[in-house]
Structure formats: C-alpha cells, structure tokens
C-alpha cells in the first residue's frame, strides 16, 4: 500500500521529521540516532535507537539518524547541517555499521554513497511537502517540496526500484537513489550527462555511477525527433495521458533496468500542472512532480 503525507513544514527540520514519521509507519526502523545532545544506542547497534521524537530533536546542527529498510540491509543516513535547509543524505546498501559514531559524529558504511551535502530544502514555510512510501517490497520512497503558489518542484529525495524482470539477476541492488536541491525531477536533468549533473546514482556491481533516465523519442523524417516526455503527445488511441515507462541506463555499464515507481509524463505542464493527480488503468495513483509521475494514493493532494 502506498502511504502518503502532505504538509506545509514550518522548518526543514519539520520536513525531514515528516519523512521519518511516514517511514516508521511504512515499517522502516531507526537503529541508531543522535539529537545533537544524546546518542543511542551506545555502543551496540542491535536495539532500536530512535531519539527523534519531534522535529525539535533535529534542530541541532550535527543531529543524525539511520533509516533502515524493512527486511534488508539498505539504509539512508540523514545528518542535519548548520541550518534547517541543509542536510547530508547518504545511501548505504550494507547499512551504516562502521566508523566511530558519537553525538555529533554519524556512522559510516561499506559502499555508501553521499547523495547531497548542502542545501536540500526551500525556504522555511514556503512549500508544500509531499512524501510517499510503499509499505511493501521493494519499499520505494520519494519526497519533494512544491513552492506555495507556483507549485514549482523544489528539493527532492527518492529511492526507486527497478521493475521485476527488467534487471540482471546478478544485480544485488536494483535501485537508484537521488537527492537534489532546487528544481527536481526534470526530464533534462534526469537524463543528463552520464558522468555528471543531478542524475540518479546506482550501484553497478561494486561500483557507484550515475544512472540517468533514458529519453523515449518519436523519430521523424530526415532525422528529426521529439522527446516524448513533457511533449504534449498523448495516447495515439484515446488522446489521454498514459504514463511512460523509464529505462535506466549508464554510458559505461549499460542498461540497469526499467524504473518501477516513476513514469515520464507526456503532458505539457500547462496541461497537467505540477501536483496533478492521475489514476492509471491498473488502479495505481500518481502525482506529477517535475516531468515524472510518482506514486501516490487515492487522495488528491490539496496544494
């Protein structure tokens, strides 16, 4: 089941706490944390160590928490920086079980990847904060701000899985991870340079690399072509919006898989504005963020 949350956070601390709250409802756990004053557990990692009971527990620079996926070793690590808009967010396939964690020192992890280290969120109180978690395997998640008034997507996080059967059986981590400030989930950025830019990151064997989203195109005469995403080209049968599958690729390592929890939007933003709620023909619900349809529930978000 897709669990969702919509709020207008007074601070960035409240936004991250809203994400944490929904994660716990979806079955994720916090094996260790620090509110910047106290750290738990000390020193073992076996007990539940969630000290983050309110947004205020994230208001001290250096506060951190590990967020562990149900039934897996995958974890996200959130570290609050000097102000409420700035965070270090890391992804660890094997969790964060090493280092010398302390009150103001987060743990480390094997094969970890820093997704962002700096400004993540918009100005306090100026955006709607949408969060979505799947409470069943593969436990995908995403969160994004939408500036009040314009609804411009602003700041986002995602951990998206590859569709079953679309990736190599030897792939031990068929996911892509993402965190970015400013404009998020835009087609041009998601499919940018394979070695740079705000692309998703994926683990290819034991190697981290950018894992951008490929662009479906309509080929035309004399070599002309049009990107399908955000093009205004609708279903050839019904002239309605049909979410478009996204291949995830890499220039060095090749095809990673087909993204499960996101689809490209074919509609122009003028036709399907950011925050538009969509029901597909398979009883799934989506909301538009940037140029993507991302998983949502039956409730239309009141933005």
% pLDDT > 70, the chain: 90
- Rounded CA separation 153/134 (Å): 21
Residue pair 251/192 in contact by the 8 Å Cβ criterion: no
pLDDT in tens, 110-119: 889 999 999 9
For residue 301, tell me if it sits in a domain.
Answer: no
Check whether the bond before 214 is cis (ω within 30° of 0): no
Within-domain flag for 248: yes
Query: What pLDDT, on the 0 to 100 scale, is given for residue 196?
Result: 47
Tokens of 128: 């709607």
Length of the chain: 303
Confidence of residue 192 (pLDDT cuts 50, 70, 90): low
Give the burial class of 49: count Cβ atoms within 10 A of its Cβ; 0-12 exposed, 13-18 middle, 19 or more buried: buried
Residue 30 resides in a domain = yes
Considering only CA atoms, which of 264, 269, 263 is closest in space to residue 232? Answer: 269
Q: Is 261 contained in some domain? A: yes
Tokens of 33: 């944390």
Q: What is the mean pLDDT of residues 176-199?
A: 76
pLDDT digits over 27-81, tens only?
Answer: 999 999 999 999 988 766 666 799 999 999 999 999 999 999 999 999 999 999 9
- Main-chain phi, psi angles of 58, to 5 degrees: -110, 10
Separation in Å, CA 118 to CA 79, 141, 181: 10, 21, 9
Instruction: Assign 141 to helix, strand or coil.
Output: strand
- Answer yes or no: is 192 within a domain: yes
Residue among 25, 56, 293 at smallest CA distance from 153: 293
Residue 302 falls inside a structural domain = no
The phi and psi torsions of 7 (rounded to 5 degrees) equal -150, 170
- pLDDT top residue among 195 and 4: 4
Task: Indicate the Cα dihedral angle 151, 153, 157, 158, nearest 10°.
Answer: 90
Average pLDDT over residues 253-275: 90
Place 195 in a pLDDT band, splitting at 50, 70 and 90.
very low
Which tops the pLDDT comparison, 254 or 138?
138
Q: State pLDDT tens for residues 110-147.
A: 889 999 999 999 999 999 999 999 999 999 999 999 99
pLDDT classification of 280: cutoffs 50, 70, 90: confident
Give the 3-state secondary structure of 14-28.
HHHHHHHHHHHHCCC
Nearest to 65 by CA among 91, 38, 95, 31: 31
pLDDT, residue 258, reads: 94
Assess if residue 184 is contained within a domain: yes
Alpha-carbon Rg of the chain, whole angstroms?
19
Give the mean model confidence (pLDDT) for residues 271-277: 92
Q: How many structural domains comprise the chain?
A: 1
Full residue range of the structural domain in which residue 152 is found: 2-296
Q: Where are the alpha helices (DSSP H) in 99-199?
A: 187-190
* 78, part of any domain: yes
Bridge partner residues of 241 (DSSP): none
CA 146 to chain centre: 14
pLDDT in tens, 163-174: 999 999 988 899
Whole-number percent of the chain with pLDDT over 90: 68
């Amino acid at each position: 089941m897709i669990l969702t949350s919509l709020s207008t956070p007074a601070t960035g601390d409240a936004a991250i706490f809203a994400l944490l709250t929904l994660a716990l409802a979806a079955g994720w756990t916090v094996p260790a944390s620090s509110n910047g004053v106290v750290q738990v557990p000390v020193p073992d990692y076996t007990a539940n160590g969630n000290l983050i009971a309110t947004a205020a527990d994230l208001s001290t620079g250096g506060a951190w928490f590990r967020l562990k996926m149900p039934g897996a070793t995958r974890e996200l690590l959130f570290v609050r920086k000097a102000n409420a808009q700035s965070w270090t967010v890391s992804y660890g396939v094997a969790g964060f079980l090493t280092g010398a964690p302390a009150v103001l020192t987060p743990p480390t992890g094997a094969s970890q990847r820093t997704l962002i280290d700096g400004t993540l969120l918009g100005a306090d109180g100026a955006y709607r904060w949408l969060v979505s978690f799947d409470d069943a395997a593969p436990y995908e998640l995403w969160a994004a701000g939408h500036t009040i008034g314009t609804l411009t997507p602003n700041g986002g996080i995602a951990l998206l899985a590859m569709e079953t059967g679309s990736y190599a059986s030897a792939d031990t981590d068929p996911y892509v991870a993402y965190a970015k400030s400013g404009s998020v989930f835009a087609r041009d950025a998601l499919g940018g340079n394979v070695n740079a830019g705000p692309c998703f990151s994926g683990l290819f064997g034991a190697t981290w690399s950018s894992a951008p989203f490929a662009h479906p195109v309509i080929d035309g005469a004399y070599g002309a072509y049009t990107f399908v995403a955000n093009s205004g080209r609708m279903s050839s049968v019904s002239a309605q919006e049909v979410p478009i599958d996204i291949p995830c690729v890499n220039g060095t390592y090749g095809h990673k898989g087909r993204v499960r929890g996101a689809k490209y939007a074919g509609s122009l933003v003028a036709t399907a504005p950011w925050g538009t709620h969509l029901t597909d023909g398979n009883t799934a619900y989506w909301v538009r963020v940037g140029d993507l349809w991302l998983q949502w529930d039956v409730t239309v978000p009141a933005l």
